[in-house]
């Protein structure tokens, strides 16, 4: 079922403010020329239509991250996230955006078994959400799958370094690349993913020097998270950078304190309801004075 048409009569979704041209994979890829990205790429996560509408004018890419497992569904990790969740939230984000390239995360278990399994899952995500690209975690081990998808019309963003779907193997979310062997493996993984055809690569939670090496070594844009300012772009989980959670990882900069602001607004509402101060005449329907 196609779910990405806007019905502005029955939903709060607003049609494109300016019917514009969406960022494309070749245009995004071309932001890095001869190893140099003049204008860093701005990427944020989005899971809902309204958040997509708010972020879209400021971003080149919106990522429907499987971090929605924790952020939206209160799950303990990204491991339980399903293809159904990614399709539904991907469609909402496509409906709420008109400018950014929308990429959707492939959830754990939907792509690792074989390139064929990955193709079936990715094709479903693209058909049901209308997204332009998928992202999947893994280095050398995923190279054959990335080549298989890229050669069959599915643009892929790689993801190396700290790969949260592997939390049970890694034993936690600590920064990667502290030993020489681990650092060398991250570089090898990034090269393998780029050589396989990924048009961009997310590098997460690595020592800054490794992020710099990966960025310098690859022809495709490298998007950092907990990585380095020298990356070709940056991505953060939007709810983290807006301060919606009390605890945020060290690499997140909080640009607002939405948790406190929401708390204050809801406290004011609750006080007015209890004191019968809300609603007032302004918010109730009364016969018009004649």
Catalytic residues: 204
Q: Does residue 192 touch ligand KIV according to CB under 6 A?
A: no
Select 151 or 190, whichever has its Cβ closest to ligand KIV: 190
Question: Residue 222 Cβ, how far from ligand KIV at the closest point, in Å?
Answer: 12
Structure tokens at 210: 């490794």
Which token pair is 101? 């390239």
Rounded to 10 deg, the angle between the 180-196 and 208-217 helix axes is 30
Nearer to ligand KIV, 56 or 105 (CB): 105
Is 225 an interacting residue with respect to ligand KIV (CB under 6 A)?
A: yes
- For 174, list phi and psi in degrees, rounded to 5: -65, 160
| Cβ–Cβ under 8 Å, residues 57 and 94 | no
Distance in Å, CB of 49 to ligand KIV, minimum: 17
Q: Which of 86, 131, 154, 235 binds ligand KIV (CB under 6 A)?
A: 235
Among 28, 149, 237, 242, binds ligand KIV (CB under 6 A): 237
**CA-closest candidate to residue 17, choices 62, 53, 59:** 53
Contacting ligand KIV within 252-281 (CB under 6 A)? none
Check residue 100 for interaction with ligand KIV (CB under 6 A).
Answer: no
DSSP secondary structure letters along 251-264:
T---S--HHHHHHH
Position of tokens 């400021």? 58
Q: Is 60 in the site for ligand KIV (CB under 6 A)?
A: no
Stretch that binds ligand KIV, among 65-73, 111-119, 206-214, 245-253 (CB under 6 A): 65-73
Report residue 116 CA to chain centroid gap. 24
Beta-sheet pairing, 36-37 with 32-33: antiparallel
Residue 162 touching ligand KIV (CB under 6 A)? no
Closest CA to 237 of 214, 204, 211: 204
Taking CB under 6 A as the rule, does residue 61 contact ligand KIV? Answer: no
The SS3 call for residue 37 is strand
The footprint of ligand KIV on residues 8-27 (CB under 6 A) is none
Binding status of residue 67 toward ligand KIV by CB under 6 A: yes
Applying CB under 6 A, the residues found at the interface with ligand KIV are 45, 63, 65-67, 105, 202, 204, 225, 235, 237
């Amino acid at each position: 079922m196609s779910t990405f048409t806007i019905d502005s009569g029955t939903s709060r979704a607003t049609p494109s403010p300016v019917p514009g041209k969406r960022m494309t994979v070749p245009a995004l890829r071309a932001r890095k020329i001869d190893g140099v990205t003049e204008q860093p790429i701005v990427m944020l996560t989005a899971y809902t239509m309204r958040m997509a509408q708010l972020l879209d004018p400021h971003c080149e890419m919106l990522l429907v991250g499987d971090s929605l497992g924790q952020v939206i569904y209160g799950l303990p990790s990204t491991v339980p996230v399903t293809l159904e969740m990614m399709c539904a939230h991907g469609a909402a984000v496509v409906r709420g955006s008109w400018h950014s390239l929308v990429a959707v995360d492939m959830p754990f278990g939907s792509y690792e078994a074989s390139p064929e399994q990955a193709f079936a899952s990715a094709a479903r995500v693209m058909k049901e959400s209308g997204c332009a690209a998928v992202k999947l975690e893994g280095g050398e081990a995923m190279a054959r799958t990335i080549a298989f998808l890229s050669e069959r019309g599915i643009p892929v963003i790689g993801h190396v370094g700290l790969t949260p779907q592997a939390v049970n193997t890694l034993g936690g979310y600590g920064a990667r690349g502290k030993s020489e062997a681990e650092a060398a493996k991250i570089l090898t993984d990034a090269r393998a993913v780029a050589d396989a055809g990924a048009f961009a690569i997310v590098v997460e939670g690595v020592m800054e020097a490794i992020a710099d090496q990966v960025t310098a070594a690859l022809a495709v844009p490298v998007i950092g998270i907990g990585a380095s300012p020298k990356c070709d772009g940056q991505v953060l989980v939007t709810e983290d950078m807006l301060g919606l959670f009390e605890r945020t990882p060290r690499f997140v900069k909080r640009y607002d304190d939405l948790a406190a602001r929401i708390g204050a607004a809801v406290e004011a509402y609750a006080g007015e309801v209890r004191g019968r101060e809300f609603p007032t005449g302004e918010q109730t329907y009364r016969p018009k004075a004649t």
